[in-house]
Chains A and B, each alone.
Chain A
Amino acid sequence: MIPPLIVKRALELALGIIAITDHNSAENVAAVIEAAQGFELTVLPGMEVQTREEAHLLCLFESVEQVLDWQAYIYAHLPPLKNDDRLFGAQFVVDASGEFVRHNDRLLLTSTSLSVEQVACEIEQRGGLCIAAHVDRPSFSLLANLGLVPEGVPFAAMEITRHTAWDVLLQQHPSLSGYSFIRSGDAHRLDEMTDSTIFSLHEPTLAEIAMALRRSNGRRVKVVGNGQHT
C-alpha cells in the first residue's frame, strides 16, 4: 500500500475522499497527500488510535500540522517499547513515490494509556472528528470491549463494516441510536478499499463531513450495502 498505488486505486474506485488512518501514527500521511496532488482526490489526515480499553477510534483532522501535533500527544502516551519486526510486522515510513525513508522503531501495535473519553474529548478540543471504529467487530471495538457506546462522549459517528446490517445492529445495541453511521474499508491492502460511504457535501472538507454527520445545513451521509440504507 504505497502512496501512488493508494491514489491510483482510489481513483479507479471513483472515491472522492479517503482518509489515512494508520495505527497510533501519522508519519505516512503527508506522503499520500503529496501523491494525490493534481488528482481529483482529497486525502484527509487521520489516525486510528488504540485506547487503553483496546478499542479503536478513528481521528480525522484538517491539516497535516494538526495530525502531527496529535501524533506527538499519542506518542507521549504509548509505552516506551520497540517494535519487533518479525512478530508484529515491519513499520515503514515512505515518501510520496513509495520509496523507503526509514523504519518506525516505536511499538505501535499496542494501547495508549488514554481512555475512550480522553481521546474523544481531546480530539474535539483540537477541532478534529472522532469516529468509533468498526463497532460491529468482535475485537478492538466499543461494543466488544465495553459492551456499549458510552454516553456523553463526543463521537462524530459510528463506523460499521460490510458484515453487518445497520438496523439489525441498532436493535441489538440501543446505545448506538442517535449517531450517524459510516462504512469504510479499514483497508490494510489495496483490494480492501471497496467499502465506502456516500456524503452529500458542498466541498470535500472535514468541516463539510462534520455537518453531514450532524445532518445539518442540508449535508447528508448514507451507508449502502447489504440491501440496507441509512
Chain B
Amino acid sequence: MTLAELAQALSLTVQAAEDKLQTEVTGGYASDLLSCVMAKAQQGNVWVTLQSHLNIVAVAALLQLAGIIVTEGRVPDAATLAKAGEEGVPILTTPKTTFAIVAQLARAGIEGAEKE
C-alpha cells in the first residue's frame, strides 16, 4: 500500500510533504525513542510515534522512511513541518493512540519489519 492509501484508510491528516505520499510502504516501526528508531527502522517503513519535535524529521530523513504518523492528537510545530517539507518527509497526524494506529496498520497488511 502507498502512504496515500493508508492516509485515506486510517483517516490521517497530512501535515507536510503532501507530494511524497506515493511511496510504497515496506513495513512499520513504532517507538518513541529516536535512538531505537535509528537502530531498527528500515527504509520505506512508516514510523508511528507520539514524538513531535524537530529531531523526528532528521531521523526519518536519515533512514529514508516512508513517513511519520504522529499520534494522540499531537501536531508538530511550524518549524518541524517546514523542515519536513524541505526534507521530503511526510508527516501525518491522528487523534488515535499509537496502539490503535498500529492495530489498524496491521489489519491493512503492514507488518513490523526488524533488522536481522
- Interface residues in chain A, defined as those with a beta carbon under 8 Å from any beta carbon in chain B: 50, 52-54, 79, 81, 84, 87-88, 109-111, 139
Partner of B53, one of A53, A111, A139: A139
If A79-B39, A139-B51, A139-B53 touch, does A84 touch B34 (CB 8 Å cutoff)?
A: no
Q: Are B35 and A111 in contact (CB under 8 A)?
A: yes
**Are A54's CB and B62's CB within 8 A?**
no
* Least Cβ–Cβ distance between A97 and chain B, in angstroms: 31
A83→B34 CA distance, assembly (Å): 15
Contact B38 A54 (CB under 8 A): no
Contact A54 to B33, CB < 8 A, known contacts A79-B39, A81-B38, A87-B62:
yes
Name the one of A87, A110, A139 contacting B35, with C-beta atoms under 8 angstroms: A110
Instruction: Tell me the residues in window 17-74 of chain B with beta carbons closer than 8 Å to chain A beta carbons.
Output: 33-35, 38-39, 51, 53, 55, 58, 61-62
Query: What chain A residues lie within 8 Å of B35 (beta carbons)?
Result: 50, 52, 54, 79, 110-111
Q: Which residues of B contact A (CB under 8 A)?
A: 33-35, 38-39, 51, 53, 55, 58, 61-62
Q: Select from chain A the residue with minimum beta-carbon distance to B34.
A: A54
For A84, the closest partner residue in chain B by CB is B62
CB atoms of B33 and A111 under 8 A apart:
yes
Interface centre among A53, A54, A81 (most CB of B within 10 A): A54
Cβ–Cβ < 8 Å partners of A87 in chain B: 58, 61-62
Which residues of the other chain, B, contact A139 by a CB distance below 8 angstroms? 51, 53
Chain A residue at minimum C-beta to C-beta distance from B87: A87
Complex alpha-carbon distance, A84 and B51, angstroms: 21
A residues near B39, Cβ cutoff 8 Å: 79
Q: A111–B38 Cα gap in the complex (Å)?
A: 10
The reply to whether A110 and B34 form a contact with Cβ atoms under 8 Å apart is yes
Given the interface contacts A84-B62, A139-B53, does A53 sit within 8 Å of B38 by beta carbon?
Answer: no
CB distance from A119 to the nearest CB of B (A): 15
CA distance A84 to B38 in the complex (A): 13
B38:A110 contact, CB within 8 angstroms = yes
Contacts of B34 in A (CB 8 A): 54, 110-111
Contacts of B58 in A (CB 8 A): 84, 87-88, 109
Q: Tell me which residues across on chain B come within 8 A of A79, comparing CB atoms.
A: 35, 38-39
Q: How far is the CA of A187 from the CA of B35 in the complex (A)?
A: 23
Q: Which residue of A lies closest to B33 (CB)?
A: A54
B57 to chain A, nearest CB (A): 8
Measured CB to CB, the closest approach of chain A to B12, in angstroms, equals 23
17 residue pairs of the A-B complex, CB under 8 angstroms, read A52-B33, A53-B33, A54-B33, A54-B34, A54-B35, A79-B35, A81-B38, A84-B58, A87-B58, A87-B61, A88-B58, A109-B55, A110-B34, A110-B38, A111-B33, A139-B51, A139-B53
Chain B contacts for A54, CB-based, 8 A? 33-35
CB distance from A108 to the nearest CB of B (A): 12
Instruction: Give the residue name and chain of the A residue nearest to B57 (CB).
Output: A87
Complex contacts, B51 vs chain A, CB 8 Å: 139
Distance between Cα atoms of A81 and B51 in the complex (Å)? 22
- A87 vs B65: C-alpha distance when bound (angstroms): 14
Residues in B neighbouring A110, C-beta threshold 8 A: 34-35, 38
Residue of A nearest to B55 (CB): A109
CB-defined contacts of B33 to chain A, threshold 8 Å: 52-54, 111
